[in-house]
Amino acid sequence: MTPTPNALSRHHILCLQNRFNRFHSYPSWARVMLKSILHEKLPTSRFQKARMTHNNATVLPRLPVPDLHKTLAKYLETLRPLLLEEAARGGAPYEAGFALRRRWADEFASGLGQLCQERLHDLDRNSPRNWLDDNFWLRSYLQWRAPLLVNSNWWLVFNDDQLHPAEQNALSGFSSWQIQRAAWLAHRTLQFKDKLASQELHPVTTRTGVWFQESVSKMFNLSRIPQVSCDILSPLSSPSDPLSYNVIVIARNWFYTLRAYDPSPEHTSAWNLISAETFISRLNAIVRDVNTRIPGPEIGVLSADSRDTWASNLQHLISISPKNLATHETIVKSLICLCLDSETHALPSPPSSSLSQPSTISQASLDSHLHAIRSVSSNVANRFFDKPFSVIVDPAGRAGAMGEHSPCDALIPSIVGEYAVVQEAEVNASLVEPPSDEGWSRLDWVTDDQVVDAIRTARARAEAIIRNSDDSMLWFEEYGTDWIKNTGFSPDAYIQMAMQLAWYRTMGTFTATYETALTRMFDKGRTETIRTLSVESRAFVLGMNDPHSSVPMKINLLRLAIQKHTSLTRDAATGRGIDRHLLGLRNMLLPGERCEIFDDPLFTQSQDWRLSTSGLSAGHHFRGTGFGAAYEDGYGINYLAAPSMVKFGIETKFSGVGTSTERFKGSIVNALREMKDMVSRGLEYDRTNNNDDGPVPARL
């Protein structure tokens, strides 16, 4: 018997309950969060409270459930380039392949798909957030069992501080400049949080403010918690809990708490952010204590292991001592992590290359900084990978941030990080008090032989992941978004087409391509997929490789590809994308229900994101960024498009067949150079024939 929509809703809630029942042995503070989900009452953050106190707060619309027929029509369009490629390589004829998929889509729309759509609407009506939260995010992040190290966590490399004393480039130990910069960055990060809460920055009277406040609230005072089969996110810690005012400091693998807020002398319930000078004093005290100890047990590396293994190891840690439960709870409830590395990672200079080289830093220095923030063998245990935001500083004062992806998307911490780094570390040395025992404490773990063995095997696996990560930055400084805009093209779409061209020239084929789109115009909106591979982008790439294509023909193909990509971007950002909807529809299938559209191998192929891409900001204050490739034979590319340059953070695996970061960097450079030359020639021809001195985007 087919469930009614209401019965399905109860079925869905029961499934959630069954899914979370295995967590019953976890501590009570974690169960509070699970109970709130099952009773559809969300924990309220400090930022949400601030939003509710403003009568003129902007209310964002709810994320819509897209139209079923429109989603299926758009989905079929994304299959065209894959079917064309299959036919071009001697496979099934394009017309027959497309007709078959269209028939399956029509059958789905008039039958089971219509029922799934009704169920999805019912889920939406019964969800306190939206239909997507319990579908996409649970499956995409929290059920994923791979280690967070490289595979999931993002990393962000900060520019050096211009006030950095030239003589303070320590290779090991802890330096005074390292401590000063770490204190400053942590202070600025928390200052940003406070300015949001007070509405001084990004007030909730704007759409962006509402979305941003909601998103940033998930950066602080929570953590991912490993569980067998499916992780959970901790509840946001309460402002009344003293643990919520701590920063976790990790140095030589030892964990410490640093109280970043002191109780207000005027108001018993208020807490005030400590000064940067007080931060320095407390960090000095922690470092002094660390220097009296041998390196600590490498508990941090356990969080870099596979999620099921880490879950088992954490449960064992908790079982052998209540102190470990308290330690983990303190870490989970803390604001952020602050990692003081005791070694400066270095790389040998690479052989000379014809690639575009960074103008202000050597490639070896740039990539060594990148790798240190991503994590390397010498510092992988000096991390806690479950936290959404960790500031990292090495003895030479090089800094960056790394974080767990599931609570919020990388754009959010990049905005916070930019605020932290935009102002140099100006502190008044006379206000830095001598180290004392005030405002910090040790946070030690109790271990046994089983934990020691687990650390040994976790480190071996982490080192294997690190060794296999082919990760490098490309600084393309020949032009940037200003020149692209002057041609009348969308910079992001233009860069995406360059990457399509680079992929084809290195791999000899086409692949499904993921680009992140933000759905920030909706309440609690996060992301949607832009499927860059289209009939138009494929035609552009083939045209660029056709010696018989003229410059005007190639420019026209580029124009059509960019127009298509811009349209796809607009749909994704306005709640009319297809991938989250398709996932939601699949999740609405009951046991025993099947349909050809989802069983089709081409459905899977269309989501095999071997080229996974995401653009952040202009990145004026960042040396680089990155995230891991989704497939061993693919690339993860995070890029920073500035007016006069584009920085690409590119990651793949050394074990991948046919992939090479160095080769792909060269292909991107050549694609961008060739595209500029082509467009410039077209512009010059247009100006000459039209006696016009300005850009003519309409004719392009």
φ/ψ of residue 636, rounded to 5: -110, 120
* Spacing of C-alpha 657 from chain mean position: 25
> Quick check: 170 and 344 in contact, CB under 8 A?
yes
Angle at 411 between CA 405 and CA 412, to 5 degrees: 80
Q: What is the distance between the alpha carbons of residues 158 and 418, in angstroms, rounded to a whole number?
A: 8
Q: What is the distance between the alpha carbons of residues 491 and 497, in angstroms, rounded to a whole number?
A: 10
> Quick check: 628 and 616 in contact, CB under 8 A?
no
Q: What is the dihedral of CA 687, 692, 695, 697, to 10 degrees?
A: -80
Output the CA torsion sign for 260, 263, 264, 269: positive
Please name which of 470, 468, 471, 490 lies closest in space to residue 481, comparing C-alpha atoms: 490
Is 405 catalytic? The answer is yes
How many angstroms separate the Cα of 519 from the Cα of each of 427, 570, 673? 39, 10, 32
Around Cβ 91, how many Cβ atoms within 10 Å? 11
Q: What is the distance between the alpha carbons of residues 626 and 53, in angstroms, rounded to a whole number?
A: 38
Q: What is the distance between the alpha carbons of residues 301 and 317, in angstroms, rounded to a whole number?
A: 14
Report which secondary-structure segment, H or E, holds 515. strand 513-518
> Quick check: 28 and 332 in contact, CB under 8 A?
no
- Helical residues (DSSP H) of 199-321, grouped into ranges: 207-216, 276-290, 299-302, 307-320
In one letter, which amino acid is 583?
Answer: L
Report which secondary-structure segment, H or E, holds 650. strand 646-653
Q: Which of 187, 369, 405, 581 is catalytic?
A: 405
How many angstroms separate the Cα of 28 from the Cα of each of 172, 234, 329, 478? 42, 11, 11, 56
3-state SS assignment for residue 615: strand
390-393/224-225 β-pairing: unpaired
CB environment 516-548: b (16+ within 10 A), e (fewer): bbbbbbbbbbbbbbbbbbbbbbbbbbbbbeeee
> Quick check: 342 and 251 in contact, CB under 8 A?
yes
Report which secondary-structure segment, H or E, holds 365. helix 363-374
Around Cβ 428, how many Cβ atoms within 10 Å? 9
- Percent helix, strand, coil in the chain (nearest 5)? 45, 15, 40
271-273/390-393 β-pairing: unpaired
Tokens of 155: 């990393």
The DSSP letter of residue 64 is: P
For the chain, how far is it from start to end, CA to CA, in angstroms?
58
> Quick check: 59 and 210 in contact, CB under 8 A?
yes
Catalytic residue ranges = 405
